[in-house]
Structure 1
Amino acid sequence: MSLSSRNSDLTQGNITKHLIRLVLPLIAGNILQQLYNTVDAFVVARYAGIAEFAAIGVAGAVMNLFLFAAAGACIGISVLLAQLYGAKDLNAFRNEHFIALASGTLLSAAAGIMGAAGVGPLLAMLQTPDDIFMFTGAYLRIVLLSLPASFIYNFYCALFRSVGRMNAALGILAIAVCLNLALDILFVAHLGWGVTGAAWATVIAQTVSAILSFGYLRMALPELLFRRRNIGLHLPLLKRTAHFGLVTGLQQTGLYIGKLAVQGAVNAMGTAAISAYTATTRIEAFVNSFGDSGASATATITAQNFGAGDHERVRQCFRRSLHLFGVAGLVCSAGLWLSAEWTSALLLGESSGPAFESAVSYLKIVAFFYILNFTGNTFAGYFDGVGRVSVTLLGTCTHITLRAILSWMFIRSFGLDAVALLTGLGWVLVNSIWAFFRWKRR
């Protein structure tokens, strides 16, 4: 059986159909990932107590720095793999498989060990309250040591995505979510292990997902496994892997840090503002799952065609993606504006008051700009796909830095409306930057 018949050769066929087929499992996976991230907190809140629930929240903020770096690095690796797959260079694909897996696992293990060793000083620096300090530290030390398993799972998701096998990653993630929930109930609700039980449930679920990912690859896609002859440094490919992984890892980490800085500005405004912003970020996280999935789909199809050397089809991929996800952005903008009162009331549990009014106003302002979020994701996917990951990093860091600085400057005068408006203006800026580089590339 040929390679293209077993997997998804995106260098042939209808581009719009390919994009839709790629993006649907990615959207489902993003939504499942959000569920995965909230399972621990949900169970701990009901069976362990408020202190341990708060510890999960603090620990989650710390863990996200590590997870965003690992997942971001895998975006760059996915682009490299897709380019090699599009070029039909299986030997180089296997070389990249070994280099990325080995180097990423070693680096994530080192990061996990150092992070676990430095948990105490880190939590002290974050001014973690004494009543949750011990719980937070215990959770983080356990989960950080499982960072290699998390990387391996994210790596194989990237590999499956590069060859168009997103359904495999989605199925494994669904198993991990169910397993995590079952183990949380067993360890926390029945055995009374508290936050430690939640941590072990996460570790076991991540380890099982990593094992299942490798097992699926060996069973269904053995031609993509590296061989003995592929084991080696392959220095030119190693340097390219390090560049792509570092840049995309920095991009995701920088975006997360910028969002934390905006959250800090909101926190200074009191409980009502915090509640409103928490509700709106949860709503936006759902909507953003569509745009983020569009970026991944665009990067994959672009990278395969770029690797195949078909630059006219690369241009077609960009145009089709811009049209498809531009329409999706318009639909989401309208939906966000029309449902602002209902979704705010659902998340806040009230339909009046300062928090509700701030949340509704925020959503209605940001809704006017949401199409630019989606077109921006098309640009990001395009530049990642053609290997210009530094352009994506430049645009992302510029707009999130500006948003964070200006939010601190104007939030006291204009409240959450300032954050919403600056979010939209940030998207205007990043679309302008990427449009300029796109025009220059042409």
Structure 2
Amino acid sequence: MFKSGRKQRAGLTEGRPGISLLLFALPMILGNLFQQLYNMADSMIVGNFVGEDALAAVGASYALTNVFIMVAIGGGNGVSVLISQYLGAKQYGRMKTSVSTSLITFLCISLLLGGVGFGFNGAILKTLHTPDNILEQARLYLGIYFLGLPFLFMYNILAAVFNAMGDSRTPLGFLVFSSLLNVALDLFSVTWLGMGVDGVAIATVFAQGFSALLLFCLLIRRLKGYGGQEKEGFTYYDMKMLGKGTRISVPSILQQSIVSVGRLLVQSVVNGFGSAALAGYSAGGRIESICIVPMSATGNAMATFTAQNIGAGKIERVRQGYRASHIIVAVFALIIALVLTLFKGPLIAAFLGGGAAGTGAGAAGGILSGAAAVPGTGASASVTAFETGTGYLSGVCYFFLFVGLKTCADGVLRGSGDMLVFTVSNLVNLGIRVFAAFYFAPVWGIAAVWYSAPMGWIANYIISFSRYLTGRWKEKKVI
């Protein structure tokens, strides 16, 4: 079913750079799309079968859970840089040590974060001004989710290890399996057992936990194929290796968390417009998350591509791959803009259930002033939710190219281990998004939340691309 580690090993350091990058990125894109299906399925199923308040509760929880998801993904991306450079340099013993050290470290981190999140999820939701009518449902969903956090972490770290070894198809296979299992369990718990947000949370934890266990077993088998050629011995845990990995993983976690942390911070702005606006915002946010997938996956592929080729001493090949990445993200951006322009109404309505069926496409622009989202204006809750969601997508649909450009430039910096400017550019992105959302909300209404996003993306790209042009990233090899 899956190709051996030996055949995958040289895939990113040989052949035409653009083709190699694209073939490696495509399974990552498909895999990330299926990963988005987890929370998207939760939202669609509770929105259609339980009610708008349940959708808002899952949406309120999503901003917080996504922070932890991005910590896991960012940690995996940081880990992958070290593994990829050791692999490119054919230091297989050191590569195995980095894998083992990473798995043990992130298991401990996930247990700590899961315990803290479980104990304080209610206080966090109150701090974010979560509407009272959905607070208890959001607390229930989050409580179950945090209990399963170690499974979430292990799954993402394991997937990152396979990607670092040049095998993006194995994680794809398991993501398809776990996503379909999650959807089936969601439907069973809600429609057959009559459960609500607790049912979809349990389904997500079980599906991801089962898949993580299978993926771990396969990884153990795969690593055995790298024996016999180590120049340095293997150890289960290496503190020096931990230090190297931390210097890369922390900025990577920060970069992956920018969108989710920004969404968490500005959610208090959205919450002030009521649960109906929050439901629409949640639906729009889920669709935005899907639109970002091909951009972030291409950037992550660029990081692994860069790391392996730097490890192999092929700097010019990195430049060629980076140029090819621009074409890839431009094509995706054009497709996304076209799809959202034509179908944003039906996409939002799919999350909101029958209550949104009667809203017209022309209502999409009404929310841009912010007035339609304010409770008490006379608009029904369903219309408010629909207008908020379509307004969201209208505000961001033409700017996803900048997400792709920034992630590809970030990928080169991260893959080479050039983390300082990488970190600064992503902090600037976060700062602009949060400041603009809060500062302009009294003027633009809720539309300030989504208008702020392209501002941050563009600033991030300018800084990271400027660093790329200097060429100093070539001096940052970490092994």
Match for residue 340 of structure 1?
Answer: 341
Q: Cα distance 1:178–1:366, how it changes in 2: closer, same or farther (>3 A)?
A: closer
Instruction: Tell me the secondary structure at the aligned position of residue 13 of structure 2.
Output: coil
Q: Are the counterparts in 2 of residues 83 and 306 from structure 1 also a CA contact under 8 Å?
A: yes
Q: What is the alpha-carbon distance in structure 2 between the residues aligned to residue 361 and residue 117 of structure 1? A: 36
Which residue pairs with 1:353 in the alignment?
Answer: 363
C-alpha contact 2:291 2:336 (8 A) present in aligned 1: no
Of 150, 153, 175, the residue aligned with 1:151 is 153
Preserved CA contact (<8 Å) 1:93 1:224: no
**Is residue 407 from structure 1 mapped to residue 407 from structure 2 by the alignment?**
no
Q: 2:424 aligns with which of 391, 394, 404?
A: 394
Using a 3 Å threshold, how does the CA distance of structure 1 residues 224 and 289 change in structure 2: closer, same or farther? same
Instruction: Kindly report which structure 2 residues correspond to 1:206-217, keeping only aligned pairs within 5 A, or say none.
Output: 206-217=208-219
Deviation, 1:26, is: 1.6
Q: In the alignment, which residue of structure 2 is the partner of 1:94?
A: 96
Change (3 A) 1:217 1:323: same
CA distance in 2, matches of 1:200, 1:298: 35
Measure how far apart 1:91 and its partner are: 0.4
When residues 3 and 88 of structure 1 are mapped into structure 2, their CA distance, relative to the original with a 3 A threshold, is farther
Specify the alignment match of 1:244 in structure 2.
Answer: 248
Contact 2:128 2:267 in 1 (8 A): no
Of 177-186 and 40-49, the range deviating more from structure 2: 40-49
Unmatched tracts of structure 2, length 5 or more: 350-358, 369-386, 473-479
Q: Give the drift of 1:77.
A: 0.8
What is the deviation of 1:249?
1.4
Pick aligned residue for 1:112 from 105, 111, 114: 114
Shift of 1:419: 5.5
Question: Which residue does 2:225 correspond to in 1?
Answer: 223
1:284 aligns with 2:288: yes
Q: Deviations over 1:328-384 (max 9, x none)?
A: 44x247526xx5254235425521236567377775664554432222121011111
Alignment of structure 1 residues 135-284 onto 2, 5 Å? 135-223=137-225, 230-266=234-270, 268=272, 280-284=284-288
CA distance in 1 between partners of 2:42 and 2:300 (Å):
27
> Partner of 2:417: helix, strand, or coil?
coil
1:79 positional shift: 1.4
Quote how far apart the aligned CAs of 1:395 are: 0.8
Q: What's 2:30 paired with?
A: 28
Partners of 1:402 and 1:193 in 2: how far apart? 40
Which whole-Å CA distance do the structure 2 matches of 1:13 and 1:34 have between them?
31
Partner in structure 2 of residue 430 of structure 1 = 460
Question: Who is 2:477 aligned against?
Answer: none
Q: CA deviation at 1:202?
A: 1.8
Within-5 A mapping of 1:7-18: 7-18=9-20
The alignment covers a number of residue pairs equal to 438
Q: Tell me: CA distance 1:375–1:144, structure 2 relative to 1, closer, same or farther (3 Å).
A: same
Q: Distance in 2 between matches of 1:133 and 1:262?
A: 18
What amino acid is the match of 2:341? A
SS at match of 2:361: coil
- How far off its partner does 1:316 sit? 2.3
Deviations 1:81-125 (A, max 9, x none): 111111111101100011000011011111112221223433443
What CA distance in whole angstroms lies between the structure 2 residues aligned with 1:362 and 1:125? Answer: 24
Residues of 1 paired with 2:392 and 2:45: CA distance? 30
In the superposition, the TM-score normalised over structure 1's length comes to 0.87
Of residues 297, 305, 320, the one that matches 2:309 is 305
Deviation at 1:161, TM superposition (A): 0.8
How many Å separate the matches in 2 of 1:377 and 1:430?
A: 9
1:376 paired to 2:379: no
CA distance in 2, matches of 1:41, 1:364: 21
1:2-41 residue CA offsets vs partner (Å, 9 max, x unmatched):
9542545311111111111112112212221221112233
How far apart, in 1, do the equivalents of 2:5 and 2:283 lie? 46
User: Residue 350 of structure 1 contacts residue 356 of structure 1 at CA under 8 Å; is this kept in 2?
Assistant: no
Q: What stretches of structure 1 of length at least 5 have no aligned partner?
A: none
Q: Higher mean Cα deviation, 309-318 or 357-366?
A: 357-366
- Range with greater deviation from structure 2 (57-66 or 366-375): 366-375
Cα 1:327/1:110, change in 2 over 3 Å: same
Q: Does structure 1 retain, via aligned residues, the 8 Å contact 2:24–2:168? A: yes
Greater Cα offset, 431-440 or 318-327: 318-327
TM (norm. structure 2) is 0.81
Contact 2:96–2:223, Cα closer than 8 Å, also in 1? no
**Structure 1 residues 268, 149: closer, same or farther in 2, change over 3 A?**
closer
- Determine if contact 2:29/2:297 at 8 Å carries over to the other structure: yes
Q: Cα RMSD (Å) of the superposition?
A: 3.2
Q: 1:276 to 1:236 in 2, by over 3 A?
A: same
- Which amino acid counterpart does residue 344 of structure 1 have in structure 2? G
